[in-house]
Amino acid sequence: MTEIEPLADHDTIRHALDASAQAQLEALTAEVADDPSRLGRAFPAAARRTGRGPLPGVDGVLLEDAVRVRLVQVAASSLDPDALLAELREVYRYGDSDEKRAVLHALSGAPEEVDGSDLLLDALRTNDTRLVAAAMGPHSDRLDDDSWRQGVLKCLFTGVPVASVTALARRADRELAEMVQRYQREREAAGRDVPLDVQVVLDACATSPEQPQHEQKDL
Amino acid sequence: MRIFDPHIHMTSRTTDDYEAMHAAGVRALVEPAFWLGQPRTSVGSFTDYFDALVGWERFRAAQFGIAHHCTIALNPKEANDPRCAEVLDVLPRYLAKDGVVAVGEVGFDSMTVEEEKAFVRQLELAVEFELPAMVHTPHRDKEQGTRRTLELVTESGLAPGMVVVDHLNEVTVDQVDEAGCWMGFSIYPDTKMDEHRMVAILQRRGLDRVLVNSAADWGRSDPLKTAKTGAAMLEAGFSADDVDRVLWRNPIEFFGQSGRLLVDPELPDDASTGADASATFEGNSILRGSRD
Ligand SMILES: [Zn+2]
């Protein structure tokens, strides 16, 4: 009932797997299709039953993430948005870092009615760069401006490339520019290198459509 | 020298330790769930601890090129507190995770009825989840504790080859050996067991089924005791291949029985290449699932 955008199409995933891993993927998929509440059971074993590592043909996507998002996609097809969200919260709560990251990726492909911003905020409180990066993906449009700006700043702090921040060009605004400039001054005062991404964010702030809007609001 | 420390509590260690361990050749380790020094009083503090073992600590180790695994259990000491008994009910969630390579540390501390109950239940979980078990032997009355431990292992139906009995010494090693279990030795910077006595045990009974660990934690301990034991073995005339067997291939063989390792068993045997064991975990190569 709820449609989740996969990280990679089914054929791409299948091609990355040998025959026995393909059979495992079919078994996991069938289990979750039959009973979506089995998602939490299927999730932990998904990587060791299929595979892990970069997914050939899809830049920057891990096979284990693609497989887990596929399982969420299958479970979601028979769950309404609220039930799906409840299931994802449960899987995230008891997931290891890999499982948590996969939940964040699944949220990135979720429709309007699904709001998992509480999970993004949890991920942004960690210092695990893989979770921080995943939290700033497409689903981060659910974050309010303050949380989103803090998320961008956290990326600069923890070394997560801001290229992984969705809608940076659109959402960057004067307030973010000021925060980043203060961060830059602090680094310079300490005689430390300023990450190259600082300029990327400042450039985005300078050219962002949010800029004039915000100025109007300020007036 | 490539080293797999099969028992070390990294949660209590610093990033300096991680750096020094990597420099000494440590590329993989197992962190058993255990007592934190301060007794816990609720299930919640256990789940937060377990979450850290499969989350933050794994991430932290990866930053230093070390593949982090863990074992999950209610430890014998806290099994005596009725407020912690419900921990047994949350274990199955964690025993299903990747990188959880055994049930442990289980066993005896003061040989109480409660300890035995938790021990037996957790041996059942090891059978159910097809995981090895890591058994802690008491620091007091070790010989009697080890005897009762082996009786319970036999009754559990868990194959002896799926069990490591840890913190052994000259007095307890033979009964564990005869039972067919793996023998764990914790090398401490005090008199409990040192690297030269370890070498003497290896000279007497060979390298089969032996795991050598630092058991470093929040107490006085040394995370480089594995490397120092390797050096002591070489000095005593063991070959580099013997050292590799004890410090790398043996732990891979034992914990590999879980099907949950996150490290490449064929990792190049050369610490100087800077080969990164966590590379597989970070996803630089496809590691296909084994059993399950
Ligand atoms: Zn220990």
Flag if A53 and B287 touch (Cβ within 8 Å).
Answer: yes
The pLDDT assigned to A211 comes to 55
The pLDDT assigned to A113 comes to 96
Flag if B284 and A50 touch (Cβ within 8 Å).
Answer: no
Predicted confidence (pLDDT) at residue B285 exceeds the cutoff of 50 = no
Q: How far is it, in rounded angstroms, from Cα B53 to Cα B50?
A: 5
Other C-beta atoms lying within 10 Å of the C-beta of residue A185: 11
**Cβ of A98 under 8 Å from any chain B Cβ?**
yes
pLDDT-derived band of residue B142, with 50, 70 and 90 as boundaries?
confident
pLDDT-derived band of residue A205, with 50, 70 and 90 as boundaries?
very high
Helix (H) and strand (E) counts for chain B?
13, 8
The pLDDT assigned to B139 comes to 81
Instruction: Give B288 or B174, the one with higher predicted confidence.
Output: B174
The pLDDT assigned to B119 comes to 97
Q: Under a CB-based contact definition with an 8 Å cutoff, are residues B73 and B87 in contact?
A: no
Q: Average pLDDT for residues B123-145, to the nearest whole number? A: 93
Give contacts of A97 with chain B, Cβ < 8 Å.
Answer: 54-56, 58-59
Q: How far is it, in rounded angstroms, from Cα B152 to Cα B150?
A: 5
Flag if A96 and B96 touch (Cβ within 8 Å).
Answer: no
Give contacts of A53 with chain B, Cβ < 8 Å.
Answer: 280, 283-287
pLDDT-derived band of residue B148, with 50, 70 and 90 as boundaries?
very high
Identify the residue whose tokens are 């096979």: A63
Predicted confidence (pLDDT) at residue B277 exceeds the cutoff of 80 = no
Q: How far is it, in rounded angstroms, from Cα A145 to Cα B243?
A: 57
Q: CA-nearest residue of chain B to A100?
A: B55
Show the 3-state SS of A6-27: CCCCHHHHHHCCCHHHHHHHHH
Q: Average pLDDT for residues B115-131, to the nearest whole number? A: 97
pLDDT-derived band of residue B132, with 50, 70 and 90 as boundaries?
very high
Give contacts of A127 with chain B, Cβ < 8 Å.
Answer: 56
Q: Percent of chain B, pLDDT > 90?
A: 87
Other C-beta atoms lying within 10 Å of the C-beta of residue B237: 9
Best of B51, B97, B129 to substitute, by most chain A Cβ atoms within 10 angstroms, is: B97
Give contacts of B89 with chain A, Cβ < 8 Å.
Answer: none
Give the closest-approach CA distance of A204 to chain B in angstroms.
30
**Rounded alpha-carbon distances, angstroms, from residue B25 to B29, B195, B207:** 11, 17, 20
Q: Phi, psi (5° rounding) for residue B76?
A: -60, -40
Residues B83, B89, B95: CA angle, nearest 5 degrees: 125
Other C-beta atoms lying within 10 Å of the C-beta of residue A186: 11
Q: Average pLDDT for residues B26-30, to the nearest whole number? A: 98
Residue ranges per structural domain of chain A: 1-115, 124-219
pLDDT digits (tens, 9 = 90+) for A172-201: 999 999 999 999 999 999 999 999 999 999
- Ligand 1 centroid distance, CA of A199 (Å): 47
**Rounded alpha-carbon distances, angstroms, from residue A73 to A29, A59, A76, B157:** 10, 20, 5, 40
Whole-prediction pTM = 0.90
Show the 3-state SS of B219-242: CCCCCCHHHHHHHHHHHCCCCHHH
The pLDDT assigned to B165 comes to 97
Of B188, B193, B154, B187, the C-alpha closest to B170 is B193
> Which candidate from B51, B93, B288 shows the least CB-CB separation from A51?
B288
Q: How far is it, in rounded angstroms, from Cα B278 to Cα A164?
A: 22
Q: Under a CB-based contact definition with an 8 Å cutoff, are residues A77 and A110 in contact?
A: no
Predicted confidence (pLDDT) at residue B287 exceeds the cutoff of 90 = no
B280 in a structural domain: no
- CA dihedral of residues B275, A59, A120, B51 (deg, nearest 10): -30
The pLDDT assigned to B271 comes to 53
> Which candidate from B54, B259, B285 shows the least CB-CB separation from A96?
B54
Give contacts of B55 with chain A, Cβ < 8 Å.
Answer: 96-97, 100, 126, 128
Q: CA-nearest residue of chain B to A28?
A: B292
**Cβ of B292 under 8 Å from any chain A Cβ?**
yes
Residues of chain B by 3-state class (helix, strand, coil), percent to 5: 45, 15, 40
Predicted confidence (pLDDT) at residue B275 exceeds the cutoff of 60 = no
Kindly state the tokens that stand for B280.
């597989």
Q: Are strands B26-32 and B100-107 parallel, antiparallel or unpaired?
A: unpaired
Of B135, B137, B203, the C-alpha closest to B163 is B135
Q: CA-nearest residue of chain A to B259?
A: A48
Q: Average pLDDT for residues B48-55, to the nearest whole number? A: 97
B53 in a structural domain: yes
Domain at B205, CATH number: 3.20.20.140
Give contacts of B260 with chain A, Cβ < 8 Å.
Answer: 48
- Structural domain including B231 reads 3-265
B290 in a structural domain: no
Q: Average pLDDT for residues B5-14, to the nearest whole number? A: 98
Query: Taking the mean position of all CA atoms in its chain, how far away is CA A57?
Result: 20
B24 in a structural domain: yes
Q: Are strands B100-107 and B3-5 parallel, antiparallel or unpaired?
A: unpaired
Nearest-Å Rg of the Cα atoms of chain B is 18
Q: Average pLDDT for residues A89-109, to the nearest whole number? A: 97
Give the closest-approach CA distance of B73 to chain A in angstroms.
16
Q: CA-nearest residue of chain B to A92?
A: B51
The pLDDT assigned to B280 comes to 39
pLDDT-derived band of residue A210, with 50, 70 and 90 as boundaries?
low
- Ligand 1 centroid distance, CA of B167 (Å): 9
* B105 upstream amide cis, omega within 30 of 0: yes
The pLDDT assigned to B184 comes to 98
B286 in a structural domain: no
> Which candidate from B97, B283, B288 shows the least CB-CB separation from A54?
B283
Burial of B3 (0-12, 13-18, 19+ CB in 10 A): buried
Flag if A130 and B59 touch (Cβ within 8 Å).
Answer: yes
The pLDDT assigned to B278 comes to 46
pLDDT-derived band of residue B288, with 50, 70 and 90 as boundaries?
very low
**Cβ of B289 under 8 Å from any chain A Cβ?**
yes
Task: Find residues 260-279 of chain B whose CB sits inside 8 Å of chain A.
Answer: 260
- Ligand 1 centroid distance, CA of B35 (Å): 8
Query: Taking the mean position of all CA atoms in its chain, how far away is CA B218?
Result: 16
Give contacts of A132 with chain B, Cβ < 8 Å.
Answer: none
Domain count, chain B: 1
pLDDT-derived band of residue B140, with 50, 70 and 90 as boundaries?
confident
Q: How far is it, in rounded angstroms, from Cα B98 to Cα B170?
A: 35
Of B80, B73, B160, B87, the C-alpha closest to B117 is B80
ipTM of the complex: 0.86
Give contacts of A62 with chain B, Cβ < 8 Å.
Answer: 283
Average pLDDT, chain B: 92
Flag if A97 and B59 touch (Cβ within 8 Å).
Answer: yes
Give contacts of A98 with chain B, Cβ < 8 Å.
Answer: 98
B44 in a structural domain: yes
Predicted confidence (pLDDT) at residue A8 exceeds the cutoff of 80 = yes
pLDDT-derived band of residue B273, with 50, 70 and 90 as boundaries?
very low
Q: Are strands B3-5 and B26-32 parallel, antiparallel or unpaired?
A: parallel
Burial of A140 (0-12, 13-18, 19+ CB in 10 A): buried
Nearest-Å Rg of the Cα atoms of chain A is 19
Predicted confidence (pLDDT) at residue B282 exceeds the cutoff of 50 = no
Termini Cα distance of chain B: 32
